[in-house]
């Protein structure tokens, strides 16, 4: 542990020795203009050139490691991980990091969360899955992502599912709706897998698609709240709604379907949907993955695909689609392709300041961290936990405090922080349900709430870095992640909250470590000077360190993906 912080200090000193004019800009990006690395970059840069816009420079290593962690695994790098990456001299270290991140457990957790928003995994109101069905649904998604199930199979399994809501997780696709009528189910399938808002379609077109979802039966069992979802051929006759007529099963592209009695029409629909030729299917997922990583869809909003909302760069989207098809809908392939592109690795500092340049990916857009990622990051930095609750008093909804927010299985399990920071309500499956714009009450909370203040003051991790005792006493357990993850941490961790360990630390060591842990980088000489001056005016040393942690947590650099 000591060695790590000492080494960090040395590195800082080395960096500090280099005179860097305009350090703030160079902190975030390289000096050289970006070079295209592959087809993505060629297509993006060509479009920008045509527009007369200039792409941003490539981001710095400190920016990259933070960005990649947040985007790929929804998790902040530890100080040690950041330090080692920045120090690493291997030329392909970014590519190696991407490969490592895609294999992390948190990758599965984070993207399960994302899918749970779109697939509306929520126990109660207005989606009524019930807690153990929500858990089963979440578990199924988690399993699929862990084995990297090809996306077309993932979709087909949901669309054609039959069975118990408690035992066959994916049947809950047909229960995670506010209404189980064929039209609502068709709209839900269109939104989720075609990126289309079917409520804006013509009545006939929606009715044609609804017919595929008109033979789904739901029945109760002796077990409380268990529900079986099944193909019910007898339902044909009972469909009396004017809008939905069994005879009129028409695919959304206008082709009539051949329904065979006894065959589940959902299978016929799924087989139509999950082909490379389908005009929505591949386009929808390619565009979504791009928007999740790059921060904005090639078609924007990513779930509003329609003829009068064209892609800003059709060739780029076509290329991503082609890659996905050629790689059998392996989404990780697409992630790698995008993450390794220069386009993804551009800095956030614009060369051409215009909404059009931004819409064409001339830089990486600033985005406030999602509620879950933000609270997990705060807990990781401070070594504190969060209290969750659910309005539904069921044993399945009890959640231990040290569970990370990104792993919460059920939208009904939440916390005041998650609600304030715009966690997805999981009510509609729209991408825009997760809310990331800053508001005054969020700002108040971060700057001045007892919640955040307590985290900083009682943090055993921050206290160990600052060489002080955490406030409030109590046993905070052994001091965290560096010890666990690092080879050197073995002996040092447990002593952190020991008074004996409270020794005078050099400001360079304290400041360098806080920067690494919170911002995943070391301070610039200017920043270091500002901090040491501040430390001199604050009376108590403990307050100085805490105020620094507070300031870094409240900086745009911490709060925004950049």
Partner 1 sequence: MSKKHNSNSGSRISRREAVKRGLVCTAGLWLTDRLGFAAPTVEPAKAKAKSVIQIWMWGGPTHLDTFDPKPDAGSDYTGPLNKPIETNVSGIRVSELLPETAKQADKYSIIRSMTHGVNGHETASYEVQTGRKPGDGKVYPGVGAVVSLFKGYKAGYKGLIPPYIVLTQPQGRFSESGFLGSRYKPFATGGDPAQGKFAVEGVVAQGITDERQQARRKFLHELNSLEHATKDDPQMVALNQADKQAYDLILGDAGKVFDLAQEKDEIRDRYGRTTFGQSCLVARRLVERGVPYITINYQGWDMHKQIFQNLGRKMREMDKGMASLLQDLSDHGLLDSTIVWWGGEFGRTPKVQWEPPWSGGRNHYGKVFCHVVAGGGFKGGQVVGSSDDKGEEVKDRPVYPVDLIGSIYQQLGIDTEARLPHAEVVHVLASAEDGAKTAGRLKEIM
Please answer whether residues 172 and 139 qualify as being in contact, where contact means their C-beta atoms are separated by less than 8 angstroms.
Answer: no
Q: How far is the CB of 526 from partner 1 (least distance, A)?
A: 9
Interface stretch with partner 1, choices 206-214, 345-353, 373-381, 398-406 (CB under 8 A): 345-353
* Interface with partner 1, residue 60, by CB under 8 A: no
Tell me phi and psi for residue 188, to 5 degrees.
-65, -45
Token output for 351: 């060369």
Token output for 114: 């994302």
Please answer whether residues 396 and 132 qualify as being in contact, where contact means their C-beta atoms are separated by less than 8 angstroms.
Answer: yes
Q: Looking at beta carbons only, is 88 or 543 nearer to partner 1? A: 543
Q: Which residue in 4, 12, 28, 140 binds partner 1 (CB under 8 A)?
A: 28
Residues 6+ apart with CB under 8 A from 417: 371, 375, 386, 445, 451
Q: How far is the CB of 437 from partner 1 (least distance, A)?
A: 5
Q: Which residue in 215, 313, 424, 497 binds partner 1 (CB under 8 A)?
A: 424
Interface stretch with partner 1, choices 132-140, 164-172, 315-323, 412-420 (CB under 8 A): 412-420
Please answer whether residues 379 and 385 qualify as being in contact, where contact means their C-beta atoms are separated by less than 8 angstroms.
Answer: yes
Q: How far is the CB of 221 from partner 1 (least distance, A)?
A: 22
Interface stretch with partner 1, choices 7-15, 73-81, 269-277, 549-557 (CB under 8 A): 549-557
Q: Looking at beta carbons only, is 325 or 416 nearer to partner 1? A: 416
Q: Looking at beta carbons only, is 148 or 389 nearer to partner 1? A: 389
Residues 6+ apart with CB under 8 A from 259: 211, 246, 249, 265, 268
* Interface with partner 1, residue 532, by CB under 8 A: no
Q: Which residue in 343, 431, 455, 483 binds partner 1 (CB under 8 A)?
A: 431
Q: Which residue in 33, 38, 52, 126 binds partner 1 (CB under 8 A)?
A: 126
Q: Distance (Å, rounded) from C-alpha 414 to C-alpha 275?
A: 38
Q: Which residue in 100, 197, 351, 542 binds partner 1 (CB under 8 A)?
A: 197
Interface stretch with partner 1, choices 92-100, 139-147, 273-281, 350-358 (CB under 8 A): 350-358
Q: Which residue in 2, 3, 14, 24 binds partner 1 (CB under 8 A)?
A: 24
Q: Distance (Å, rounded) from C-alpha 362 to C-alpha 344?
A: 10
Q: Which of residues 162-191 bind partner 1 (CB under 8 A)?
A: 178-179, 184
Q: Distance (Å, rounded) from C-alpha 509 to C-alpha 47?
A: 46
Q: How far is the CB of 12 from partner 1 (least distance, A)?
A: 15
Interface stretch with partner 1, choices 75-83, 158-166, 376-384, 542-550 (CB under 8 A): 542-550
* Interface with partner 1, residue 433, by CB under 8 A: yes
* Interface with partner 1, residue 425, by CB under 8 A: yes
* Interface with partner 1, residue 527, by CB under 8 A: yes
Q: How far is the CB of 410 from partner 1 (least distance, A)?
A: 15
Interface stretch with partner 1, choices 102-110, 159-167, 372-380, 425-433 (CB under 8 A): 425-433
Q: Distance (Å, rounded) from C-alpha 247 to C-alpha 211?
A: 8
Q: Distance (Å, rounded) from C-alpha 412 to C-alpha 397?
A: 8
Please answer whether residues 384 and 458 qualify as being in contact, where contact means their C-beta atoms are separated by less than 8 angstroms.
Answer: yes
Q: What's the length of the chain?
A: 562
Q: Which of residues 295-324 bind partner 1 (CB under 8 A)?
A: 295-297, 300-301, 304, 308-309
The strand pairing partners of 217, in sequence order, are 230
Q: Looking at beta carbons only, is 152 or 431 nearer to partner 1? A: 431
* Interface with partner 1, residue 556, by CB under 8 A: yes
* Interface with partner 1, residue 443, by CB under 8 A: yes
Token output for 264: 């589940």
Q: How far is the CB of 231 from partner 1 (least distance, A)?
A: 24
Three-state secondary structure of 521-558: CCCCHHHHHHHHHHHHHCCCHHHHHHHHHHHHHCCHHH
Q: Which of residues 445-484 bind partner 1 (CB under 8 A)?
A: 445, 447-451, 453
Q: Which of residues 224-263 bind partner 1 (CB under 8 A)?
A: none
Please answer whether residues 371 and 445 qualify as being in contact, where contact means their C-beta atoms are separated by less than 8 angstroms.
Answer: no
Q: Which residue in 15, 27, 161, 549 binds partner 1 (CB under 8 A)?
A: 27
Q: Looking at beta carbons only, is 111 or 515 nearer to partner 1? A: 515
Please answer whether residues 331 and 525 qualify as being in contact, where contact means their C-beta atoms are separated by less than 8 angstroms.
Answer: no
* Interface with partner 1, residue 543, by CB under 8 A: yes
Q: How far is the CB of 347 from partner 1 (least distance, A)?
A: 9
The strand pairing partners of 55, in sequence order, are none
Interface stretch with partner 1, choices 201-209, 224-232, 415-423, 461-469 (CB under 8 A): 415-423
* Interface with partner 1, residue 430, by CB under 8 A: yes
* Interface with partner 1, residue 219, by CB under 8 A: no
Please answer whether residues 467 and 503 qualify as being in contact, where contact means their C-beta atoms are separated by less than 8 angstroms.
Answer: yes
Please answer whether residues 121 and 141 qualify as being in contact, where contact means their C-beta atoms are separated by less than 8 angstroms.
Answer: yes
Secondary element (H or E) of residue 295:
none
Q: Distance (Å, rounded) from C-alpha 86 to C-alpha 83?
A: 5
Q: Distance (Å, rounded) from C-alpha 304 to C-alpha 201?
A: 12
Q: How far is the CB of 28 from partner 1 (least distance, A)?
A: 6
Instruction: Please enumerate, as own/partner, the contacts of 548-553 that have beta carbons within 8 Å and a separation of 24 or more.
Output: 548/510, 548/511, 548/514, 549/381, 549/456, 549/459, 549/462, 549/514, 549/518, 550/452, 550/456, 552/514, 552/515, 552/518, 552/519, 553/378, 553/381, 553/446, 553/452, 553/456, 553/518
* Interface with partner 1, residue 555, by CB under 8 A: yes
Q: Which of residues 358-397 bind partner 1 (CB under 8 A)?
A: 358-359, 361, 363, 365-368, 389, 391
Q: Which residue in 62, 74, 422, 512 binds partner 1 (CB under 8 A)?
A: 422
């Amino acid at each position: 542990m000591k060695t790590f912080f000492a080494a960090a200090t040395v590195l800082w000193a080395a960096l500090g020795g280099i005179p860097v004019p305009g350090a703030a800009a160079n902190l975030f990006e390289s000096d050289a203009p970006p070079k295209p690395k592959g087809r993505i970059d060629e297509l993006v840069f060509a479009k920008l050139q045509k527009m007369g816009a200039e792409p941003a420079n490539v981001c710095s290593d400190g920016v990259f490691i933070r960005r990649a962690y947040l985007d790929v695994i929804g998790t902040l790098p530890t100080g040690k991980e950041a330090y080692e990456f920045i120090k690493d001299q291997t030329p392909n270290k970014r590519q190696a990091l991407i490969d490592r991140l895609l294999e992390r457990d948190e990758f599965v957790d984070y993207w399960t969360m994302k899918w749970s928003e779109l697939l509306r995994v929520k126990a109660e109101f207005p989606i009524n899955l019930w807690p153990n069905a929500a858990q089963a649904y979440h578990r199924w998604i988690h399993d699929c992502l862990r084995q990297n199930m090809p996306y077309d199979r993932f979709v087909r399994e949901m669309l054609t599912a039959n069975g118990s809501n408690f035992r066959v997780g994916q049947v809950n696709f047909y229960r995670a709706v506010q209404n189980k009528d064929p039209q609502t189910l068709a709209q839900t399938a269109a939104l989720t897998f075609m990126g289309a808002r079917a409520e804006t379609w013509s009545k006939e077109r929606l009715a044609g698609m609804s017919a595929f979802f008109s033979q789904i039966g739901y029945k109760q069992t002796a077990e409380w709240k268990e529900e079986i979802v099944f193909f019910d051929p007898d339902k044909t006759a009972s469909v009396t709604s004017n809008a939905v007529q069994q005879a009129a099963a028409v695919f959304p592209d206008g082709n009539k379907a051949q329904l065979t009695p006894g065959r589940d029409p959902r299978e016929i629909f799924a087989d139509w949907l999950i082909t490379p030729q389908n005009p929505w299917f591949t386009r929808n997922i390619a565009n979504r993955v791009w928007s999740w990583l790059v921060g904005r869809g090639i078609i924007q909003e990513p779930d509003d695909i329609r003829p009068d909302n064209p892609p800003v760069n059709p060739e780029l989207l076509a290329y991503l689609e082609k890659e996905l098809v050629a790689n059998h809908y392996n989404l990780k392939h697409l992630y790698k392709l995008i993450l390794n592109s220069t386009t993804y690795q551009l800095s956030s500092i614009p060369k051409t300041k215009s909404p059009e340049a931004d819409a064409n990916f001339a830089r990486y857009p600033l985005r406030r961290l999602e509620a879950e990622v933000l609270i997990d990051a705060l807990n990781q930095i401070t070594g504190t936990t969060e209290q969750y609750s659910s309005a539904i008093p069921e044993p399945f909804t009890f959640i231990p405090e040290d569970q990370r927010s990104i792993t919460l299985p059920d939208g009904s399990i939440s916390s005041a922080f998650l609600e304030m920071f715009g966690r997805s309500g999981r009510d509609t499956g729209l991408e825009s349900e997760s809310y990331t714009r800053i508001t005054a009450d969020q700002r108040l909370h971060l700057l001045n709430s007892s919640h955040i203040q307590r985290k900083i003051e009682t943090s055993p991790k921050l206290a160990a870095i600052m060489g002080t005792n955490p406030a409030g006493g109590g046993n905070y357990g052994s001091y965290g992640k560096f010890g666990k993850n690092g080879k050197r941490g073995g002996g040092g961790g447990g002593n952190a909250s020991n008074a004996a360990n409270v020794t005078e630390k050099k400001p360079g060591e304290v400041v360098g470590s806080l920067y690494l842990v919170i911002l995943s980088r070391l301070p610039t000489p200017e920043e270091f000077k500002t901090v040491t001056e501040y430390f001199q005016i604050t009376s108590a040393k403990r307050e100085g360190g805490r105020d620094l942690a507070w300031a870094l947590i409240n900086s745009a650099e911490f709060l925004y993906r950049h």
